[in-house]
Amino acid sequence: MKFIEFKNVSKHYSGQSVLRDFSLEIDMGERIVILGPSGCGKTTVLRLLAGFIAPDSGQIIIGAQRVAAEGKIIIEPRARNLGMVFQDLALWPHLTVKGNLAFGLKAKGVPEKDRDQRIVEILRHMQMEAFIDSRPAELSGGQQQRVALARALILQPDVLLMDEPLSSLDLELNIILRKEILKLQQSIGFVLLYVTHDREEAFEIGSRIVVMKAGKIVQNASVEDIKDYYRKLSLNY
Amino acid sequence: MSKRITLILVVIFVLLTGLLPLLVMFARSIIVDGHISLDFYQGLLTSGREWTLMGHSFALSLLTALLTTIIGVPLGILFIKTDLPLRRLFTVLFTIPLLLPPYISAVSWFDLLGREGLLAQLMGPSVAYTTSSWLFGLPGCVLVLFSTFLPVVILLTMTYLKTINPRLEEAGMLVSSWPQVLKEITIPVIMPGVLLAAMLVFLLTLGEYGVPSFLRYDVFPVESFIQFSAFYNFGAATAAAVPLIIITFFVLIAERLFLRDKTYQIRTMSDSEQYSNIELGNSRNWLMAIVGLLCISIVVIPILVLVLQSFSVVAYKEALSRAGGSLLRSVSYAVIGASMLTVLGFFLGYLIHTRAFRFWRAVDSLTVFLFALSGTVIGIGLIGLWNRPLTNFIYATPAIIILGYLAQYTVLTSRITISTLAQIPPSMEEAAQVAGAGWFQRLSLIVAPLAMRGLFAAWLVAYIFCLRDMGITMLVYPPGHDTFPVRIFTLMANGSTELIAALCVILIIATLLPLGIAGMMLKLK
């Protein structure tokens, strides 16, 4: 069942086209990985969906609602029920782990008692309970990653956006966290839109892969088909 | 080797121009007739007047810092993060008072609210009597210094907001509204910057001489100046200056201990990252009206009053005939001072940026300390050091004024150099090094050309601060070498209102003209 739709979306920055006539449909519970080199427009897709920027033309639909169209943001980011893990994680440095997780719950008006319970629960799930009062700067890269993931998931979003979240980690931690993300998605069932330039990461996480180049989709297929596509591409060279 | 020697010479020069005068001044205040004596300090502690001065200085500095912070932070946010109409124009207008000697604002307020001011002509003497008695004293000083130092808070808030990682706010926007994001994320993250701005305003107000002197509100710098120039009591002048040194020192130590390490994510944004624009919606127009009203009240009207008061050819003719020489001298000293400050700041900035010596932080702190110190204190220190037969070639010539500029304003050019150098990838210099270029070659052929824009900005800022200086110049200028701000200040005693207003307008033009030309040149480029 179709849940997200980009319809002929274009976006320019300072006169340069970043996204050109971009169309994509995503079903409920899907794990879409957007794969491509840096500057191809993959982060822009996430930012458009989050509502940080508006498309210059075209429209974006989430659920049955048009959330942005023709240069306008119709539904604000906070009303889209999305979670996001940023490339640099963007953990608020002046708040503790608890403060980082409580911010969204407070904004949504969750009572303090429920808030604390949900924070403890999710931190237990992430094996981060012991760090509830730590500040981000006191955590290791992997621990920060888990807090960012917990912050994105604590409001039980319909869609989780991940912008190269594992790019700064060492390979071992990268592999462990890939598996954790996969496990979480399978148990909760949110739509996962994952951006990376790492093919191996994309093949492991995605159920479908969208390959982008210069603001356009060049491939949109299952993991197997994309693997095949790259195999042929390397044979040709 | 040449790098090391050059940078050591630069540090020695800073110590010689900045620190040594203070040490000599202190030594002279505790040595009376060849013996160590704390008489001056005893007098300081036991005299009721000194405690009154302390109370006045603190009240003025605290109130000014508080008011500028309360108003300046929201203005900074409005100018950088929202779609407020005319925000760029407002930023420029609010900055103007900072570029002028603060007493010019005092003069314009006097022309407006004084007993024979514009208000008196419009509303009668009884209203003017009330406003005049209000202007002369603490409220008037706070008003003038608030309008002068408000841009410090606005500009620092804007700078810190620009360097905040926009992802921090976006992460908040996913679940919350702008007001809450501002309250719980943006402002706490820039809080060290806000406190730094407040602290800077506190110290600048504490060291201000011109405004309290003109508006007859006794504070430490005025006392120091009177002790020195009226009674030539060097020891008492120094003793009155010491509390300023101690307070400045401890405030800066507090900044280093509590704020420096709390500066969170500082980074520059690329064009594509510059989201985070708050749409004000229906509030846009009334917010613009409030900001416009404030701008008109504290910037436009005071300048307009000066222009109106000076509106006669005779006044300008007289101004140029009585102070034309001072104007030329001022511009020449400012050009020389700014050029030397740019060179000194470049080397010092390079030293601090590359952490060339283990004591780089101490050098940086010293320049900040000297900037925050009252000009009067530095002036007394310079006289104490250079007023000897052997060094008369400095003391009796404009060199003493230039040394004063170098002592107080080096931090401006060094800090601009540091932020400029931070934008040049180290690989640029390293590539030249690999290619066999020596240090001077690398600096002159690679680093300096790449930093040219920043160095130009540093020169401009230095020029403005040298041109507007009065605290140091007032004390150290040799006979026949007074600068324009000093001449205006001395003419105030017996010059007509029209003449003083004309002089102030000329000074405003001399300050803003290079900025306008620079702005146009940058636009054309």
Chain B CB contacts of A86 under 8 Å are 167, 170-171
Cβ contact A77–B170 (<8 Å)? yes
Does the distance separating the beta carbons of A151 and B174 come in below 8 Å?
Answer: no
Give pLDDT tens digits for B260-271. 666 554 444 444
Contact status of B277 with chain A (Cβ, < 8 Å):
no
Q: HSE on the CB side for B517, CA within 13 Å? A: 8
* Candidate from B171, B172, B189 with C-beta closest to A94: B189
Q: Do B168 and A90 touch (CB under 8 A)?
A: yes
3-state SS assignment for residue A61: strand
Domain of residue B436 covers 1-26+303-525
Residues 33-72 (A) with a CB less than 8 A from some CB of B: 44, 47, 50-53
Tell me if chain B has a CB within 8 Å of the CB of A103.
yes
Q: What is the arithmetic mean of pLDDT over B278-304?
A: 93
- Given A44, A53, A78, which is nearest B174 (Cβ)? A78
- Write down the pLDDT at residue A117: 95
- Identity of the residue in A87, A90, A107 whose CB atom sits nearest the CB atom of B175: A107
Q: Taking the CB of residue A64, how many other CB atoms lie within 10 A of it? A: 7
Q: Is B359 helix (H, G, I), strand (E, B) or coil?
A: coil
Residue of A103, A108, A161, A190 to mutate, testing the B interface (most B Cβ within 10 Å of its Cβ): A103
Q: In the listed set B240, B261, B276, which residue is the last one of a domain according to the structure?
A: B276
Stretch A176-190: mean pLDDT: 89
User: Is B437 within the bounds of a domain?
Assistant: yes
Does residue B198 sit within a domain? yes
Phi/psi at A65 (nearest 5 deg)? Answer: -100, 135
Residue B381, φ and ψ in degrees, nearest 5: -60, -45
Say which CATH number the domain at B315 has. 1.10.3720.10
Determine the residue of chain B that is closest to A104 in CA distance: B175
Q: Which residues contact B446 (CB under 8 A, 6 or more apart)?
A: B428, B429, B432, B437
The residues facing A35 across adjacent strands are: A196, A211
Give yes or no for A210 touching B (CB within 8 A).
no
Per DSSP, A132 falls in state T
Q: Does residue B259 fall inside a structural domain?
A: yes
Residue A237: what pLDDT? 67
Distance CA B415, CA B13 (A): 17
**Looking at residues B201-220, what average pLDDT do you find?**
91
Is the pLDDT reported for residue B58 higher than 50? yes
Interface test with B, best of A16, A78, A160 (most B CBs within 10 A): A78
**B461 lies in a domain?**
yes
Which tokens sit at B272? 């594509």
B259 and B367 belong to one structural domain: no
B17 and B131 co-located in one domain:
no
* B180–A88 C-beta distance less than 8 A: no
Q: Is residue B295 part of a domain?
A: no
The percent of residues above 90 in pLDDT, for chain B, comes to 52
Q: Tell me, what's the pLDDT at A134?
A: 96
Burial B266-290 (b: 16+ CB within 10 A, else e): beeeeebbeebebebeeeeeebbee
DSSP annotation of B15 reads: I
Residue after which a domain boundary falls, among B226, B260, B276:
B276
Residues B44-55 have a mean pLDDT of 81
Q: Which DSSP state fits B82?
A: B
Mean pLDDT calculated for residue range B471-483? 92
A78 and chain B: CB distance < 8 Å anywhere?
Answer: yes
Residue B272: pLDDT over 50: no
Q: State the average pLDDT over residues B233-239.
A: 78
B51 CB neighbour count, 10 Å cutoff: 12
CA dist B158 → A167, B72, B76, B91, B417 (Å): 31, 10, 5, 10, 19
Contact flag A90-B171 (C-beta cutoff 8 Å) = yes
Q: Does B172 touch chain A (CB under 8 A)?
A: yes
- Mean pLDDT (chain A, rounded): 91
d(CA A82, CA B176): 12
A–B: how many Cβ contacts below 8 A?
Answer: 70
Strands A31-35 and A208-213: parallel
Q: Which residues in chain A have their CB less than 8 angstroms from residue B180's CB? A: 107
Q: How does pLDDT run across B220-232, given as a tens digit for each residue?
A: 888 888 888 788 7
Q: Report the residue from B167, B172, B180 with minimal CB separation from A88.
A: B167
Query: Which one of A13, A78, A87 has the shortest CB-CB distance to B175?
Result: A78
Residues 478-497 of B with CB under 8 A from A: none
B265 in contact with A at a CB cutoff of 8 Å? yes
The reported pLDDT for the residue numbered B266 is 47
pLDDT at B42 over 80: no
**B84 φ/ψ angles, rounded to the nearest 5 degrees:** -60, 130
Number of domains in chain B: 2
Residue range B454-470: mean pLDDT, rounded: 92
Across the interface, do B170 and A52 touch by the CB < 8 Å criterion?
yes
Cβ distance A86 to B174 less than 8 Å, yes or no, reads: no
Answer whether B177 touches A (CB < 8 Å): yes
Is ipTM > 0.95 here? no
What integer is the mean pLDDT of A28-45? 92
Q: Are residues B171 and B235 in the same domain?
A: yes
pTM score, whole prediction: 0.83
Interface of B with A in 70-129 (CB under 8 A): none
Maximum CA extent, chain B:
77
Confidence bin at A106 (pLDDT 50/70/90): very high
B349-392 pLDDT, tens per residue?
A: 999 999 999 999 899 999 989 998 888 889 989 998 999 999 99
Looking at residue B434, what is its pLDDT? 84
From CA B36, how far away is CA B30, in angstroms rounded? 5
B260/B356 same-domain check: no
CB B264 within 8 A of CB A94: yes
**Average pLDDT rounded to a whole number, residues A104-129:** 92
Strands in A72-73's sheet, in edge-to-edge order, are A16-27, A2-13, A57-62, A65-69, A72-73
Question: Within its chain, how far is the Cα of A198 from the centroid?
Answer: 15
Interfacial B residues in 127-166 facing A (CB < 8 Å): 165
pLDDT of residue B271: 44
Q: Do A94 and B167 touch (CB under 8 A)?
A: no
A1-78+197-237: CATH topology is: Rossmann fold (3.40.50)
- Regarding whether B207 and B148 lie in a shared domain, the answer is yes
Cα distances from B117 to residues A196, B126, B476, in angstroms, run: 69, 12, 33
Q: Who's near B286: CB < 8 A, 6+ residues apart?
A: none
Q: Please provide the average confidence, as pLDDT, over all residues in chain B.
A: 88
The answer to whether residues B195 and B139 belong to one domain is: yes
pLDDT at B353: 92
Orientation of helix B399-421 relative to helix B375-386, angle to 10°: 130
Nearest to B22 by CA among B382, B289, B450: B382
Average pLDDT for B188-208: 90
Task: Please check the confidence at residue B188 and state whether its pLDDT lies above 60.
Answer: yes
Tell me: pLDDT of B517 over 90.
no
The residue behind tokens 């390490």 is B261
Across the interface, of B171, B184, B188, the residue whose CB is closest to A86 is B171
Q: Tell which of B160, B173, B175 to mutate to test the A interface (max A CBs under 10 Å).
A: B175
Distance from CA of B84 to the nearest CA of A (A): 19
Helix B234-254 to helix B375-386 angle (10° resolution) is 130
Q: Which of A14, A83, A94 is closest, CB to CB, to B271?
A: A14
- Tell me which residue of B77, B68, B73 sits closest to B202, measured CA to CA: B68
Look at residue B251 in the predicted model and tell me its pLDDT.
86
Mean pLDDT over B492-502 rounds to 85
Same domain, B103 and B152: yes
Which chain B residues have a beta carbon less than 8 Å from that of A103? 172, 175-176, 184-185
B187 and B126 in a common domain: yes
Band of the pLDDT at A125, cuts 50, 70, 90? Answer: confident
The tens digit of pLDDT for each residue in B138-175 reads 999 999 999 999 999 999 999 889 888 889 999 999 99
- In this structure, the answer to whether residues B77 and B172 fall within a common structural domain is yes
The most confident of A42-51, B47-56, B113-122, by mean pLDDT:
A42-51
Looking at the predicted structure, is the pLDDT value of residue B43 above 80?
no
State mean pLDDT over A168-174.
82
CA distances from B34 to B27, B28, B29, B308 (A): 11, 10, 11, 56
**Interface contact flag, A93 B265, Cβ < 8 Å:** yes
Residue B31 lies in a domain: no
Residue-level pLDDT at A130: 94
* Interface contact flag, B265 A108, Cβ < 8 Å: no
Q: Do B321 and B434 lie in a common domain?
A: yes
Among the partner residues A51, A76, A94, nearest to B188 by beta-carbon distance: A94
B286 inside domain: no
B83 and B158 co-located in one domain: yes
In a domain, B224, yes or no: yes
- How many alpha carbons fall within 13 Å on the CB side of residue A234? 5
| In a shared domain, residues B156 and B87 | yes
